[in-house]
């Protein structure tokens, strides 16, 4: 071994790597969180107050399952575990556990928070978990839309508009011609807006972010205008048949997991199938290899004989159709009517979930569930009526996005050619 | 940002006598640069009006009901609807002293917020957060307007400066996050918009701001000394805010094109890596640009909270200004004077749109559609050239951003 190499090795040992520094930061955050849990939820809960977590819904086969726990004891236990995790992080061992520790820490924090909020009363835990899944569907589908586009190097800021426009199409067409027409219309609307994005950015080299913003405006303006001019006049066009849940036999009877995962409309099952399909497709098929190569190095892909433009068009349109599926869910499955600007920024949260999920399908699922969870907590806790103003709980998902994007969760690496127009020479 | 995606500031094209030798060539007496600058926006506006007309016709429910029996009459109804809508739009924008007052009044915050977005574009930053910055700046001004007792000559400047600080902090936060962590400003500013909107909703219900006895998020009326004085008496809403906006236009022009820091802003926008290599503190520049941008949005917030009769503030005082600002900054090619003219145009469209909504049953949403169409046509000049068969010498993509960048 030469002297230079030895020098490098010594320096590497002395200087902390970014991962090591991050582990320390996460550790400090966790310790602070643990102290806060001890103070706010441990000492803050009255002594001897039980929190009753309901684990079954009224429609379940097994009734009256619940978990009763003393709020103060639970909170203090949670505080000790979180502080322990934090100290473990500060020692900088097992660096691959940094994110997992952070996730466990925040999960336990939420549990203690809920126990504190529900102390002396009861709280439907399974209801909240079910809402988590339902509230994350659009976020996950939005993230998958973004992922489809960005894996081939096109940034899609227009997810929000694609969701909104396809929700409108789903509601109107479903009201007029039935559910199937609504679904097809939503998929087509999403696809057409994807095509518009691809056309503007590939054919005319329009800045990708501007094109996406324009799609959002266009969708918002058109759907609001048509709502005001048509739907208020012809009410029957805003009354689609609500798509009901399909209960999967036996699986739906499993306590907690059943109502959470196996008693939903086909949109939720579709989302999971799509996730598995996309993961397999991206990493184990020729289509996926080509898509990724176009997103990483379009010139090399072109040299290897791949039609870069065609791959980009195809994936962006398919991505738009995923958003169309999400829009149909929004319009047909939840409230089953269209309201002006009913997406309310969820497309942007999907975009952030894609970044948070590191451009991976299952990463998008994880990120989507985090956002769904924070929203479900907000909804259920505002029912409990504790002192926190609902506006602050409503802010929560957006603050989570900022924190996530600002990199508390670590450096993410987008596809190398993301956002770069490709001009064939 | 990577250094591969070079960005060309849209309006600094070399003069080229042969391009755009079509429609506008016949207009005498206009110098080539002005003609070039005006041609594309004019054609974009015309196209937007045409598509808008088509949308009005297609969404005319009553006419469609007649279509089966008497198609010609129905078609006539549709055309009539377009005529009435555009006539009211025009009358509402220019048809009377009141209309002109409304146009200028509506333009004021649009120009200010448009300048905010334009400054960001010049430095390669896409500030979608004007909405949030308007909220925060407006709240700062509102607080001063409610709780600080000063003579008018001091009260208004203090409130306006407070708004600039508030908006600047909110914008600077996004700049700081980008400089420090690489968090893309598009995401952070959008999220900060939501945070600011919910915060406004909450804070207007606290005793600090809420009108006594009110149950909705609505402030008490601000002190008289803090109200922006109207120019032509209280029956017209136009106030001295328009002068603030025009002053801001010249100030931004001076900053961007006559000052050292403005040169550094534009250099950072053109190539961050080259600026870094030249010894500029790009991290500081990002924060400074976003602070300046936020301060300009904050000014727009001040005109909304200090100048809008009846001087009580509700939770949606930012309206759609933040998003209109993006469109008009693009239309104005991120140049302060361009922003001034596009701000006046959009002010006219929106003021006219309100009259159109009341008189012709076409909601102001049509204006949003037309704005987005204008932006498409401005951002895709080739598309306009293809439609109007105007010859073009070279294709120049407008690119303001490059990827999520690190």
**Contact residues for B269 (Cβ-Cβ < 8 A; gap 6+):** B7, B9, B121, B122, B123, B124, B125
Suggest the residue from A143, A158, A168, A225 to mutate for an interface test with chain B (most B CBs closer than 10 A): A225
pLDDT at A8 over 70: no
The answer to whether residue A413 sits within a structural domain is no
Q: What is the pLDDT of residues B21-40, one digit of tens each?
A: 444 444 444 455 666 667 78
Q: Are residues A83 and A211 in the same domain?
A: no
Mean pLDDT of chain A: 85
Q: Are residues A385 and A297 in the same domain?
A: yes
Give the pLDDT mean for A75-88. Answer: 88
Q: Which pLDDT score, from 0 to 100, does residue B7 have?
A: 43
pLDDT at A396 over 70: yes
pLDDT at A286 over 90: yes
B182 or B357, which is more confident?
B357
Most confident of A293-307, A397-411, B67-81: A293-307
Give the pLDDT mean for A58-87. Answer: 81
Q: Which of A91, A120, A149 is the last residue of a domain?
A: A120
Q: Are residues A75 and A141 in the same domain?
A: no
The mean-pLDDT minimum among A61-75, B137-151, B370-384 falls in A61-75
Length of chain A: 425
Which of B 154-183 lie inside 8 A of A, CB atoms? 177, 180-183
Mean pLDDT of chain B: 82
Q: Please list every residue in chain B whose beta carbon sits closer than 8 Å to the beta carbon of residue A391.
A: 198-199, 201-202
CATH number of the domain within which A188 lies: 1.10.3470.10
In Å, what is the CA distance from A312 to each residue of A74, A202, B111, B165, B220? 52, 8, 37, 44, 54
Q: Which pLDDT score, from 0 to 100, does residue B15 have?
A: 43
Q: Which pLDDT score, from 0 to 100, does residue B362 have?
A: 83
Q: What is the pLDDT of residues A203-233, one digit of tens each?
A: 888 888 889 988 998 999 999 999 988 888 8
Q: Are residues A323 and A345 in the same domain?
A: yes
A179 or B234, which is more confident?
A179
How far apart CA A141 and CA A130 sit, in angstroms, is 17
Q: Which pLDDT score, from 0 to 100, does residue B186 have?
A: 80
The mean-pLDDT minimum among A91-100, A143-152, A322-331 falls in A91-100
Q: Which pLDDT score, from 0 to 100, does residue B6 have?
A: 41
Angle at A32 between CA A31 and CA A38, to 5 degrees: 90
Shortest CA gap A339–chain B (Å): 14
User: Tokens 């010049």 sit at which residue?
Assistant: B122
Shortest CA gap B156–chain A (Å): 30
Most confident of A161-165, A384-388, B273-277: A161-165
The answer to whether residue A284 sits within a structural domain is yes
B55 or B230, which is more confident?
B55
| 8 Å CB contact of A225 and B201 | no
Q: Please list every residue in chain B whose beta carbon sits closer than 8 Å to the beta carbon of residue A401.
A: 187, 191
Q: Are residues A99 and A219 in the same domain?
A: no
pLDDT at B102 over 80: yes
- Give the pair of three-digit tokens for residue B31: 């110098």
Q: Which pLDDT score, from 0 to 100, does residue A121 have?
A: 76
B305 or B182, which is more confident?
B305
- A191-208 in b/e form (b: 16+ CB < 10 A) is bbbbebbbbbbbebbbbb
Q: Which pLDDT score, from 0 to 100, does residue A327 have?
A: 94
Q: Are residues A227 and A373 in the same domain?
A: yes
Q: Which pLDDT score, from 0 to 100, does residue B260 have?
A: 86
Most confident of A119-133, A175-189, A331-345: A175-189
Residue A157 belongs to domain spanning: 130-408
The answer to whether residue A4 sits within a structural domain is no
Give the pLDDT mean for B158-180. Answer: 92
How far apart CA A345 and CA A371 sit, in angstroms, is 13
Shortest CA gap A189–chain B (Å): 17
Q: Which pLDDT score, from 0 to 100, does residue A238 have?
A: 86
Q: Which pLDDT score, from 0 to 100, does residue A284 have?
A: 95
Return the number of other C-beta atoms located less than 10 Å from residue B250's C-beta.
12
Identify the helix (H) or strand (E) that includes residue A54.
strand A50-54
Q: Are residues A109 and A241 in the same domain?
A: no
Q: Are residues A54 and A166 in the same domain?
A: no
pLDDT at B320 over 90: no
Helix axes A159-177, A346-356, angle to 10 degrees: 130
Q: Are residues A283 and A206 in the same domain?
A: yes
B397 touching A (Cβ < 8 Å): yes
pLDDT at A75 over 70: yes
Instruction: Please name which of B63, B16, B58 lies closest in space to residue B37, comparing C-alpha atoms.
Output: B16
Q: Which pLDDT score, from 0 to 100, does residue B403 have?
A: 53
Instruction: Please name which of A329, A315, A305 lies closest in space to residue A418, comparing C-alpha atoms.
Output: A315
| 8 Å CB contact of B61 and A230 | yes
Give the pLDDT mean for A121-145. Answer: 89
Shortest CA gap B154–chain A (Å): 34
Q: Are residues A378 and A271 in the same domain?
A: yes
Give the pLDDT mean for A157-163. Answer: 93
Q: Are residues A270 and A334 in the same domain?
A: yes
Q: Which pLDDT score, from 0 to 100, does residue B209 have?
A: 80
Does pTM surpass 0.95?
no
**Domain locations in chain B?**
32-94+332-406, 111-330
Asked whether A357 and A136 are in contact (CB, 8 A), the reply is no
ipTM value, please give it. Answer: 0.80
Number of structural domains in chain A: 2
Give the pLDDT mean for B377-404. Answer: 64
């Amino acid at each position: 071994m030469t002297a230079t190499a030895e020098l490098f090795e010594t320096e590497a040992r002395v200087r902390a790597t970014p991962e090591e520094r991050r582990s320390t930061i996460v550790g400090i955050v966790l310790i602070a969180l643990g102290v806060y849990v001890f103070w706010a939820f441990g000492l803050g809960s009255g002594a001897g107050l039980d929190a009753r977590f309901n684990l079954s819904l009224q429609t379940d086969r097994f009734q009256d399952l619940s978990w009763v726990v003393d709020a103060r004891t639970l909170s203090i236990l949670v505080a000790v575990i979180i502080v322990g995790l934090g100290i473990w992080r500060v020692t900088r061992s097992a660096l691959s556990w940094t994110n997992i520790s952070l996730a466990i820490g925040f999960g336990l924090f939420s549990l203690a928070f809920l126990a504190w909020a529900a102390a002396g009363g009861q709280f439907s835990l399974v209801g909240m978990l079910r809402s988590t899944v339902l509230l994350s569907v659009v976020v996950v589908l939005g993230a998958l839309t973004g992922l489809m586009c960005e894996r081939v190097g096109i940034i899609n800021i227009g997810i929000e508009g694609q969701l909104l426009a396809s929700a409108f199409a789903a509601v109107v067409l479903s009201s007029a011609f039935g559910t199937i027409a609504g679904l097809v219309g939503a998929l087509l609307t999403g696809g057409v807006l994807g095509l518009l994005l691809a056309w503007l950015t590939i054919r005319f080299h329009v800045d990708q972010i501007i094109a996406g913003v324009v799609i959002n405006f266009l969708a918002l303006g058109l759907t609001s205008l048509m709502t005001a001019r048509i739907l208020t006049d012809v009410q029957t066009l805003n009354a689609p048949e609500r798509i009901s849940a399909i209960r999967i036999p036996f699986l739906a009877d499993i306590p907690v997991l059943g109502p959470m995962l196996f008693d939903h409309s086909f949109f939720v099952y579709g989302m999971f199938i799509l996730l598995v399909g996309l993961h397999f497709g991206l990493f184990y098929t020729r289509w996926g290899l080509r898509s990724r190569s176009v997103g990483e190095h379009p010139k090399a892909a072109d040299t290897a004989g791949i039609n870069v433009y065609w791959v980009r068009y195809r994936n962006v349109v398919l991505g738009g159709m995923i958003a169309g599926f999400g829009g149909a869910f929004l319009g047909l499955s939840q409230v089953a009517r269209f309201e002006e600007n009913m997406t309310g920024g969820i497309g942007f949260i999907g975009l952030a979930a894609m970044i948070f999920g590191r451009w991976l399908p299952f990463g998008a699922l994880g990120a989507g569930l985090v956002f769904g969870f924070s929203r479900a907590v907000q909804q259920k806790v505002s029912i409990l009526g504790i002192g926190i103003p609902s506006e602050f709980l409503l802010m929560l998902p957006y603050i989570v996005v900022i924190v996530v994007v600002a990199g508390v969760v670590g450096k993410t690496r987008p596809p190398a050619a993301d956002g770069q127009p490709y001009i064939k020479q | 940002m990577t250094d591969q995606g070079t960005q060309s500031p849209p309006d600094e094209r070399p003069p080229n006598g042969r391009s755009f030798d079509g429609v506008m060539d016949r207009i005498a007496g206009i110098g080539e640069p002005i003609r070039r600058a005006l041609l594309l926006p004019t054609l974009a506006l015309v196209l937007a009006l045409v598509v808008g007309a088509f949308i009005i016709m297609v969404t005319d429910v009553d006419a469609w009901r007649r279509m089966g029996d008497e198609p010609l009459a129905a078609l006539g109804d549709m055309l009539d609807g377009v005529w009435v809508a555009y006539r009211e739009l025009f009358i509402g924008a220019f048809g009377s002293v009141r209309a002109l007052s409304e146009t200028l009044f509506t333009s004021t915050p649009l120009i200010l917020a448009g300048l905010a977005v334009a400054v960001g574009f010049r430095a390669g930053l896409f500030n979608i957060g004007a909405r949030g910055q308007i909220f925060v700046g407006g709240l700062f001004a509102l607080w001063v307007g409610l709780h600080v007792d000063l003579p008018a000559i001091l009260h208004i400047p203090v409130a306006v400066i407070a708004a600039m600080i508030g908006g600047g902090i909110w914008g600077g936060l996004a700049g700081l996050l980008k400089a420090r962590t690489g968090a893309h400003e598009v995401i952070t500013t959008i999220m900060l918009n939501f945070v600011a909107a919910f915060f406004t909703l909450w804070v207007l219900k606290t005793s600090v701001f809420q009108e006594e006895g009110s149950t909705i998020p609505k402030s008490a009326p601000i002190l008289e000394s803090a109200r922006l004085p109207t120019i032509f008496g209280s029956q017209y809403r136009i106030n001295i805010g328009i002068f603030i906006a025009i002053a801001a236009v010249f100030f931004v022009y001076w900053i961007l094109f006559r000052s050292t820091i403005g040169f550094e802003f534009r250099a950072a926008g053109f190539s961050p890596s080259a600026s870094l290599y030249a010894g500029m503190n790009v991290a500081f520049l990002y924060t400074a640009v976003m602070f300046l941008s936020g301060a300009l949005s904050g000014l727009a917030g001040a005109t909304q909270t200090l100048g809008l009769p009846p001087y009580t503030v509700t939770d949606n005082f930012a309206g759609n200004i933040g998003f209109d600002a993006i469109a008009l900054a693009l239309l104005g090619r991120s140049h302060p004077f361009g922003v001034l003219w596009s701000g006046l145009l959009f002010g006219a469209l929106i003021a006219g749109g309100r009259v159109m909504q009341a008189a012709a049953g076409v909601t102001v949403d049509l204006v949003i559609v037309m704005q987005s169409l204008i932006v498409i046509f401005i951002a895709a000049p080739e598309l306009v050239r293809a439609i109007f068969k105007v010859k073009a010498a070279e294709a120049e993509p407008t690119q303001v951003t490059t990827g999520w960048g690190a």
